[in-house]
Amino acid sequence: MERYVIFDVGGTTVKHAIMNAEGVAIESSSYPTPAQGNDEIYELLLQLINESKRKYPVKGVALSIPGAVDINSGEVYYAGSVIDLMHSNVKEKLKETGLPIELENDANCVALAENWKGNAVNTDNFVCITLGTGIGGSIYLNGNLYRGKHGMAGEIGLMLLHADSKTPEQLLFEKYSFSRLGSTWNLEDRISKKLERPLTGREIFALYEQRDEGVTKEVESFYHTLAIGTLNIIHVMAPEKILFGGGISSQHNFISKIKQKISTIRPEALELTELDHCHFYNQSGQLGALHHFLKQTNKC
């Protein structure tokens, strides 16, 4: 049976798996993302690919990359904190493996996984919003991913949600982008500074459930920001669904809180677009990368 080497490359970890063509993981592992600046990331990828080839009849390599990529050439235009990937050609760098190589943007991989086996099966128009260090997004339009020039479509974290005349224009993105105001990392950062002690997202929401005074206002503001950003997307695209991914979206009242905020601003929007969680969480990048590989090589 055919096997595929799958990577989900992130700023903190590199997730590795061997999957069959149905997306079933035969084995999986995770490694700290190597220090940047001397191409150690490629040394790790090549090592894992070669080890996998010795154990399985590997037919190809699929990668989920945190940035803007040219899926045909393999060129990476932007890769967040994984700077060794930036302005490099992944297909050329891994060419010595002798295997077909395919790569896709990580948020796009989430959308592909959801459309393949998740909460967007048989859905031709939807948007995925992924919450983490920043806010990522992917746009599925008329039955296909919409990538835009240089694969930059869906960078919804760069939406500006506010502006004022007192803020210098060059600081607007730093202060008022969707990622700055609505990402999980920034929620944790704001509350940790306010309470003068480090708190994880899990700890913050445990305190929120207890209606902790120092946390509640910030979390309510976080939901308000997500509602504003979501409402903007609904008004621009009128998608059938918007799916939320990232660990924080698994909070039991996450979707209902965003709906509650939107209903106080413009409730008609909720009649247009369904809001839901992504079906897959940590595995979505790998599943989407595999599905992209199979599509690119005409195997599905």
What tens digit of pLDDT does each residue of 146-203 get? 988 877 889 898 899 988 888 888 888 888 999 888 888 888 988 999 999 999 888 9
pLDDT tens digits, 254-273: 999 999 999 999 999 999 99
pTM of the model: 0.89
Instruction: Please provide the DSSP assignment of the chain as one string.
Output: --EEEEEEE-SSEEEEEEE-TT--EEEEEEEEPPPSSS-HHHHHHHHHHHHHHHHS-EEEEEEEESS-B-TTT-BBS--TT-GGGTT-BHHHHTGGG-S-EEEEEHHHHHHHHHHHHSTTTT-SSEEEEEESSSEEEEEEETTEE---GGG-TT-GGG-B----TTS-GGGHHHHHBHHHHH-HHHHHHHHHHHHTS---HHHHHHHHHTT-HHHHHHHHHHHHHHHHHHHHHHHHH--SEEEEESGGGGSTTHHHHHHHHHHHH-THHHHH-EEEE-S-STTHHHHHHHHHHHHHTT--
Residue 12: predicted pLDDT: 83
Torsion angle of the four alpha carbons 135, 203, 281, 18, in this order, in degrees rounded to the nearest 10: 110
Residue 252: predicted pLDDT: 81
Residue 85: predicted pLDDT: 93
Per cent of the chain over pLDDT 90 is 68
Rounded to the nearest integer, the mean pLDDT of the chain is: 92
Q: 89 CB contacts (<8 Å, ≥6 apart)? A: 73, 74, 75, 76
Contact 63, 101 (CB under 8 A): yes
pLDDT tens digits, 77-96: 877 778 899 999 999 999 99
- Is residue 72's pLDDT more than 90? yes
